[in-house]
Structure 1
Amino acid sequence: VSMGLANLGYKVVALDLDIGLKKLDLIMGLENRVIYDIVQVIEGECTVKQAVVKDRLNPNLFMLPAAQTRNKEDITEDQIKKLITELRKDFDFVLLDSPAGIEQGFRNAIAAADWAVVVTNPEISAVRDADRIIGMLESAQFHNIKLIVNRIRPEMVKDGDMLSIEDLLNHLCIDLIGIVPEDTRVVISTNTGEPIILSQDSLAGKAFSNIARRFTEEEVPFMNLQHNDSIWEKLKSMGRNIFSSKQVG
C-alpha cells in the first residue's frame, strides 16, 4: 500500500514498529541500506533524516526500520507521538506497521494514528483475532477502523469451504477498504523485495493499488472476484461511501 501511495505521487514513510523482530526492511529489499533504526532516532543517537531509508524503486517512498536487538517496551506511546508529529511535517502519509499481538508494540502503533486498518484472512481463527483487535481499538475510543480481507479464494468461497466477504462484514461490523485475492506471486515478491503492486498482471497487485487509491478518498469499485453478484453490488456502493467524512491517513 505504501508503494501504491508513492506511485500516486504522495511522499510516504513506512515505520516498522515490530521492535526485536524487524522485517519491513527485508520485505522492501532495503536491509543492506539500513544504518540507524527507530529506537536510535527516539534516543537521540541520530536524526530522522539520517535514519529513514529511501526506496530503491520510488523516490517518494521511505522506510524507518525497527531495531532488532531491543524490546518493544523500549519505546513509549508519548515517544511515538512525538516522532509522528515530526514526520508529519515532511510526509503526506505516515504508515505504521504494527506488530502482531496486543502488547506494547500495538499500543505504540495506535497512540498517534488517525485510523487503523485491520488485516485478516477469511479463516475462523484469524477472524476471531481480528475481532479481538477491533474490540481493543474500540475500547480505547478508536473508531476509525477499516478492514482488509487478505488471501481470499473465490472458488473456495463458492464451494462453501471459506468464509465469504459478507460473512466477515456481518461478524466484524467495520468498513471494508480492500479485498486481496490469493496470489502465489506474493511469495516471490516478498522473497525478491519487489512489491507485488508493480506486477501488471497480478490481481493482488491491482487490489493493493485500489486500496492505496481508497486511502486518498478516491471512489474505487471493488473487483468482482466471485459469482455472487448481489454482494458485489453492495460492495460497489460501499466503495463510493467508505470515506464519506474527511479523514487523515
Structure 2
Amino acid sequence: MGEAIAITSGKGGVGKSSVTLNLGMMLAMKQKRVCLIDMDLGLKNLDLMMDLQNRVIYDLKDVLEGKCPLRKAIIKDKHCANLYLLPACKSMRIHDMKTAEIKRVVDLLKHEFDYVLLDTPAGIESGFLCSLPCVERVLLVSTLDVTSLQDGDRVIGLLLKEGLDQIDLIINRYQPRFVEKKISLSLEDAAQWLGIDLLGYIFEDEEVMRANNYHFAAIMQSESLYACFDALAKRLCGEAAPLPKYREKKLLAKLFGS
C-alpha cells in the first residue's frame, strides 16, 4: 500500500507545482512508482509542465463521473518510466467535487503506486479541503517571505483542526546570502514560527523558470536542484540524508551559463 501526500502552500506563486513535479520525478528515479494528481482545478498546470497536454484524453472529472476507468485517465511521463499523471479538468466546478469519490480514486492509486502526490490549490480553497481526507501527510511549501510564512501558518491551523498533524516544511527559492544579509528570515526562524519540522529546501535557480517554459523537470539540468531534491526524496523516504551546501556561481560561470 502506497502513501498519499498533499503538497500545498499558504499562498500562490511559491513554486508548489514545480516542487511537486521535481520531487515526484526524483522519487521515480529512485525506483518508486509515483502518480501525480493535479487538484488545482481551473489552472491545470502539471500536464503542461510535463509536456503531456496533447496526450490528455480523459481526466479526473471523467473518472469521477464514471466515463472512463481510472487506468485510462492516467498518463505516463515521456522521460521517466515510473512517473505518471492524473490530469485535472478546467471545466469541472469546485462544488461538483465530492470528497468521498476523490478519496476512492486516491485509495485505488495507493494500491498501484508507492507515492500519490496531490498538487493542491494554495490557501484554503475547496480543492485543498477536498484533498485533506485523502492523505496521511502534508508537505507545506513556503518561501522565507513573511507573508508566505504567515499564510502557511493559517493552513497549518486548518490541517491540525482536520486531524492532520504529520506536516513537514519545504522552503523554496532559498537564498543563503539573503539570510546572511538579514534580508529574509533564517530557516530556523521559519521552522520555529510554523512549529513544524523542516524536510528540506530548494535553492533559488533560474533553471526552474527555464524548465517550466520548456516543459522539463529542472532537476535534469541543474546540479544544485538535483542535490536539493535528492535530499528531499531521501528524507521523505525516511533516510538520514544531509541537506546540500550552497555553492555560489563564479562571475564567469554566470556570464557563460556554466
Indicate the TM-score class for this superposition, using the shorter chain for normalisation.
0.7 to 0.9
Contact 1:189 1:196 in 2 (8 A): yes
Amino acid at match of 1:205: Y
Contact 1:120 1:126 in 2 (8 A): yes
Question: 5+ residue gaps in structure 1?
Answer: 227-249
Relative to structure 2, which stretch is displaced further, 181-190 or 100-109?
100-109
The aligned counterpart of 2:243 is 222
Q: Secondary structure at the match of 2:36?
A: strand
1:49 to 51, 71, 86: 71
The aligned counterpart of 2:178 is 156
Contact 1:123 1:163 in 2 (8 A): yes
How far residue 205 of structure 1 moved from its aligned partner, in angstroms, is 2.7
The aligned counterpart of 1:7 is 29
Partners of 2:117 and 2:124 in 1: CA distance: 18
The aligned counterpart of 1:122 is 144
Partners of 2:104 and 2:187 in 1: CA distance: 38
Give aligned-pair identity as a percent: 36
Q: Secondary structure at the match of 2:225?
A: helix
How far residue 215 of structure 1 moved from its aligned partner, in angstroms, is 1.7
The aligned counterpart of 2:225 is 204
1:182 aligns to 2:198 (yes or no)? no
**Residue deviations 1:131-155 (CA, integer Å, cap 9, x gap):** 1111110111110000000001111
Q: Secondary structure at the match of 1:57?
A: coil
TM-score, normalization: structure 1? 0.87
1:32 aligns to 2:54 (yes or no)? yes
**Residue deviations 1:138-196 (CA, integer Å, cap 9, x gap):** 11111000000000111111001111101101101101111111001110011111101
The aligned counterpart of 1:73 is 95
Q: Secondary structure at the match of 1:41?
A: helix
The aligned counterpart of 2:114 is 92
Amino acid at match of 2:243: F
The aligned counterpart of 2:4 is none
Structure 1 segments of 4 or more deviating over 3 A?
none
The aligned counterpart of 2:154 is 132
Partners of 2:98 and 2:43 in 1: CA distance: 17
How far residue 19 of structure 1 moved from its aligned partner, in angstroms, is 1.5
Amino acid at match of 2:233: A
The aligned counterpart of 1:243 is none
**Which of 1 and 2 has higher RCO (CA within 8 Å, sep 6+)?**
2
Amino acid at match of 2:70: V
Q: Secondary structure at the match of 1:110?
A: helix
Partners of 1:225 and 1:72 in 2: CA distance: 41
Length, aligned pairs only: 225
Contact 1:183 1:202 in 2 (8 A): no
The aligned counterpart of 2:82 is 60
Q: Secondary structure at the match of 1:204?
A: helix
What is the Cα-based RMSD across aligned positions, in Å?
A: 1.2
Amino acid at match of 1:91: F
How far residue 204 of structure 1 moved from its aligned partner, in angstroms, is 2.1
How far residue 56 of structure 1 moved from its aligned partner, in angstroms, is 0.3
Partners of 1:33 and 1:22 in 2: CA distance: 14
Q: Secondary structure at the match of 1:95?
A: strand
